[in-house]
Amino acid sequence: MFQGDILTLTSRDGFAQLEFDTPGSPVNVFSRKAIEEFSRALDVLEQAELSGLMIVSGKDSFLAGADINEFSAVFSSGADAIAEHLTPNIKNFERLQALPFATVAVINKLALGGGLELALACDYRIADTAARIGLPETRLGIIPGWGGTVRLPRVAGLDTALEWIASGKEAKASEGLKTHVLDAVVELDQLRDCALALLQRCALGEMDYELRRLQKTQPLKLNQVESGLAFESAKALIGHQAGRHYPAPLAALAAIREGATKSAAEAARAELAYFIEVAKTDTAKALSGLFIADQVVSKKARAWKAQASVKTAKLAVVGAGIMGGGIACQSALKGLPVVLKDINQQGIDLGLKEAAKVLGRRVDKGKMSAAGMAEALTRIQATLNYQPLGSADVTVEAVVENSGVKKAVLAEVEAQLPETAVLSSNTSTISITELATALKRPEQFCGLHFFNPVHAMPLVEVIRGAKTSDDTVARAVECATALGKKAIVVNDCAGFLVNRVLFAYFAGFAALLDDGVDFTHIDAVMVRWGWPMGPAHLLDVVGLDTAEHAEVTMAEAFPERMGRAQPSPTARLYKAGLLGQKGGKGFYCYTKDKRGRPQKTVNEDAMQLLHATSASQLDDDMIVLRMMAPLVNELCRTLQDDIVGSVSEADMAMIYGLGFPAHRGGVLRWVDSVGVRQFCENLSALSQCGPLYQAEPMLLELAENGASFYAQAENSPATDAAH
Ligand code: 3H9
């Protein structure tokens, strides 16, 4: 009946089938082209003599929503452009809902965002038992824009709609059925037969699809007092959960609230107004940009993985400290057998204790059964001998952060490994090329830098030394992804990508402290700005001994920016015997309250040691600039020096490795939102603050051309072989 590039409309015995199948893509999305074809298919459907329609997918999943790649250009083009982008599918869904026969959405595997909105515009929704459905728009900084805030409350009730839309959660098919979002859940191979049977019953008048349409077009049936209470309590809860940097969940609530007492057509207008309001925010641009940057990272990792000559079937970890134990635990959790080797039983006990602690917390939270935990722990083979390492495909060295010790251990381990094995180091700062000088097979050696705590931090930096082979990089990426991590391949330098940039940030912090600014004030400002913790707190968590040691390494590598004439604040506290959180005292004192919950109070000794005065306070914007400028500059240098392969990977590494606030979309995307030229002007006011504050050539060039990091990245996507 209709044949487009994406959509095919056919009919048999009076029942039509509209199939989405986007050529060359693993998933279906509502791109402009798909929307346009949908509208043409509706032209045909409106004229045809039919008894029912089922909408199906030719892919192994139904529909993943709007094409997120189209958002950035649209969101930057103002309210009219946003409205123009949304309107064709709003109309399509209204036309679908008004067809003169029953309609059913056949959901295989997933229906998200606009995919579920399409299904909600159908009279019935049937999904397979493993399907996941949801409206994840608020996670992208927007709200559903094709009727989700109008139809979901009318189909499933206010509570379900508020919960699903504000959280952006993906629900299982069983929950969809329980909440009446779905009408039936069947085995995958029965989906289409079941849909046809349902349409036949509608055609025979056994089921009243018109009644369902009536429910979707009328105001919500709510008692005014109750609904006032429901909206007010939801507002408090959603506002609290979302936090001040994420406006979309509250905008979704406002759209639902405004539409609740209105007809569906009026409610749709309210939805559009709220959609435009949020789509224009930097948060929406940042969060939808993040999805795309994340896809760049995943795509590169997939490409590396595909090249790996051997899949990791067994891992080995040498050094059973907090990091070694954490890596072994992650391996066990992901079903990968792991050998955990240390030189003494105490070390082994510590590593196993760490693993049991992490898994135990999962059991407490109901994420794992006690039997599952026991089974996972059996995957860890603890040993004091080298011999079991012989069966591991990849070995991670995680001993003390000292170049001499690491070289000796690595050489010893290499001698025990089969010639085909990959050896790696979990060093956080020491050059991989330098460590490789101790080895006979440097081409089979690389860095695998995990972050603490291993189970919680999504990033692993895969560091390529001067002699590391492509296959070793590929196998390391394969191993990191098998451990459930996001792998980003970087070239070698002191601190690699993440710590090199982090220590520039700490250098900015030290400079502020030298100027007498109170560290509690800096921490408070940076947390308000969106960081999960301020720099002083972060240094305490890293450990002042570890941080001081890394500072020395970084100062040696980059003396002009990170070298210091006098001991840094970290060094001063460390020399005064303060170790940070693990020792109970650092910038802050760490204790537990009566209920055993951790407490953090200012350490007055640290205040005195650092001569912090509240007199020399700078305003918040200046503190943010003084903290962020060294980080931005250093990140530019890592791009200039080819340490990291693309703007997207640089930004994602900051988010996954440092917890940089996601609502800012990444460090460089944040600079784009300020404007590169404006950022350089802001920096020029800080020229007296030294080399950390001199704008890098990359920034100056972008500023001169009126360009931005992402405009640049989109024009010349980094696909270079080095990464
Ligand atoms: C929305 O619908 C708003 C409306 O209310 C109103 C709008 C105006 N767009 O992740 P994968 C691509 S907002 C563009 O590797 P998986 C993805 O880039 C939207 N592309 O596979 C990748 O491309 P490539 C609400 C998309 O199995 C390929 O598909 N929807 C989109 O691990 C495979 O993806 C969402 O937020 C998209 N919407 O996971 C869903 N979705 O092959 C976002 C996927 O070139 N998507 N691609 O690298 C996801 O959560 C996951 O991709 C999904 C599949 C679960 C679907």
Query: Which domains does the chain carry?
Result: 2-280 (3.90.226.10), 311-495 (3.40.50.720), 499-714 (1.10.1040.50)
Residue 592 has a pLDDT of 86
**Ligand 1 pocket, CB under 6 A:** 26-27, 29, 64-69, 86, 110, 112-114, 117, 136-137, 140, 144-146, 148, 295, 298-299
Q: How far is the CA of 278 from the centre of ligand 1 (A)?
A: 20
* Residue with CA nearest ligand 1 atom 22: 295
Q: How far apart are CA 169 and CA 554, in angstroms?
A: 42
Residue 613 has a pLDDT of 65
The best mutation among 152, 295, 297, 304 to test binding of ligand 1, ranked by most ligand atoms within 8 Å of the C-beta, falls on 295
Residue 722 has a pLDDT of 43
Closest ligand 1 atom, CA of 85? Answer: 8
What are the structure tokens assigned to 392, written together?
Answer: 């591991």
pLDDT < 50 positions in the chain: 715-722
Q: How far is the CA of 194 from the centre of ligand 1 (A)?
A: 27
The best mutation among 68, 74, 110 to test binding of ligand 1, ranked by most ligand atoms within 8 Å of the C-beta, falls on 68
What are the structure tokens assigned to 21, written together?
Answer: 């199948």
Phi, psi of 644 (to 5 degrees): -120, 150
Q: How far is the CA of 312 from the centre of ligand 1 (A)?
A: 28
Is-catalytic flag, 449? yes
Yes or no: say if 57 and 127 are a contact pair by the CB < 8 Å rule: no
Yes or no: say if 278 and 143 are a contact pair by the CB < 8 Å rule: yes
Residue 108 has a pLDDT of 97
The best mutation among 21, 25, 27 to test binding of ligand 1, ranked by most ligand atoms within 8 Å of the C-beta, falls on 27
List the alpha helices (DSSP H) in 559-696. 559-562, 569-575, 604-609, 620-640, 647-658, 667-674, 676-684
Closest ligand 1 atom, CA of 74? Answer: 8
* Residue with CA nearest ligand 1 atom 25: 113
Q: How far is the CA of 24 from the centre of ligand 1 (A)?
A: 14
Residue 69 has a pLDDT of 92
Q: How far is the CA of 105 from the centre of ligand 1 (A)?
A: 19
Closest ligand 1 atom, CA of 148? Answer: 5
Three-state DSSP class for residue 90:
helix
> For residue 449, what is the enclosing H or E element?
strand 445-450
What are the structure tokens assigned to 512, written together?
Answer: 């502020």
Q: How far apart are CA 381 and CA 388, in angstroms?
A: 9
Residue 715 has a pLDDT of 47
Contacts of 382 (CB under 8 A, 6+ apart): 320, 340, 341, 342, 348, 351, 352
Contacts of 722 (CB under 8 A, 6+ apart): 464, 491, 642, 645
- What value does the CA radius of gyration of the chain take, rounded to a whole number of Å? 28
* Residue with CA nearest ligand 1 atom 5: 144
Phi, psi of 381 (to 5 degrees): -100, 100
List the catalytic residue out of 449, 455, 521, 723: 449
**Of 93, 86, 31, which is closest to residue 64 (Cα–Cα)?**
31
Closest ligand 1 atom, CA of 71? Answer: 8
Q: How far is the CA of 28 from the centre of ligand 1 (A)?
A: 8
- What's the chain's length in residues? 723
Q: How far is the CA of 134 from the centre of ligand 1 (A)?
A: 13
